[in-house]
Amino acid sequence: MNSARTLTIGMCASLILLAAEARATTTFAKVAGTLKLTGDAQNDAVQLVGIGNPGSVVLVVDAQQVGSFEGIHDIVVNTAAGDDVLEVLGVQIGGSIKIKTGTGVDDVRIHGDNGHFERSLFVGGNVDVSMGRQAGDTFELKAETAHGVSIGGNVVVRGASFNEITGFGGTADLDATDVRIGGNLRIQCGVAANSGILLVAVNVHGSTKLDTGNQADSVSVASSQFLRPVTIRTFGGDDIIGFSSGAFQNRFASTLVIDGGAGADQWLGATASIQAIAPNVKNVETSS
Ligand SMILES: [Ca+2]
Ligand SMILES: [Ca+2]
């Protein structure tokens, strides 16, 4: 072999090695009824797709199916650093989902599934998500056009700058494609950048606490109903709280507290909701 060819082969081998090192490795294990996924410092791209029987889940990493599991009750994911994307689609489990995405700008999408097996999403326990508080960290809990989302327990999301919980039901009444939360809803952005919370067609049976951060934040709520107390706090920055009106009005069966914090804050649609009790509003400079 001449030396030029040896050099070329050596360079190719090095490039292949570099490519292999740059690709994320997601390891997985099923222990009793818990499916545990662990990413690395690279950009993990992971899908968990519900198939067949309740508790059946297919694992897809970098668009390749790498595992298929039966009898899953709980799911625990830590994608570590890197810009990670985790999708949980049409999964039906009796237990809970716990997710950490760490540093990096991450996407977590927990959806009903239109794309694969046409399924609603059901989690009997809690959805607990910590996203690391990077600007651009995005959390979605979404129904699809024909497939609703039911969470039996609490939904807790910390450290996402964009938070979207959306169903397709057109009104605050109970609709098949709503997002139903049996427990409490807690969203704490705490990101040093503008943050947003969007709730559409959500039914919350427990209490709700929505906290943004200290920048110019928005909280938008439409077609949703809340059976227990709701508190919305937007802290520093010039914030906008928007409630839809008319057919998309919200219903608050218990108390509503809105605290705009520092800054010039606005509450739009202030009179649009069905309110069992007059709202308690603090530090909101403009309402209409
Ligand atoms: Ca990662
Ligand atoms: Ca993050």
Q: Give the ligand whose atoms come closest to the C-alpha of residue 61.
A: 1
Of 118, 184, 109, 198, nearest to 151 (Cα)?
Answer: 184
CA 133 – ligand 2 centroid, Å = 6
Contacts of 267 (CB under 8 A, 6+ apart): 241, 242, 243, 258, 260, 281, 284, 286, 287, 288
Q: Give the ligand whose atoms come closest to the C-alpha of residue 135.
A: 2
CA 107 – ligand 2 centroid, Å = 8
pLDDT of residue 145: 78
CA 140 – ligand 2 centroid, Å = 14
CA 138 – ligand 2 centroid, Å = 8
Rounded average pLDDT over 159-176 = 90
Q: Give the ligand whose atoms come closest to the C-alpha of residue 105.
A: 2
CA 21 – ligand 1 centroid, Å = 13
Q: φ, ψ for residue 176 (rounded to 5)?
A: -60, -30
Q: Give the ligand whose atoms come closest to the C-alpha of residue 137.
A: 2
CA 78 – ligand 2 centroid, Å = 11
CA 214 – ligand 2 centroid, Å = 18
Q: Give the ligand whose atoms come closest to the C-alpha of residue 22.
A: 1
CA 24 – ligand 2 centroid, Å = 16
Q: Give the ligand whose atoms come closest to the C-alpha of residue 38.
A: 1
User: Which residue has tokens 């600007």?
Assistant: 135
Mean pLDDT of the chain: 91
H/E stretch holding 160 reads none
Contact 179, 204 (CB under 8 A): no
Of 275, 244, 241, 274, nearest to 259 (Cα)?
Answer: 241
* Tens-digit pLDDT profile for residues 53-105: 999 999 999 999 999 999 999 999 999 999 999 999 999 999 999 999 999 99
* Tens-digit pLDDT profile for residues 214-258: 999 999 999 999 999 999 999 999 999 999 999 999 999 999 999
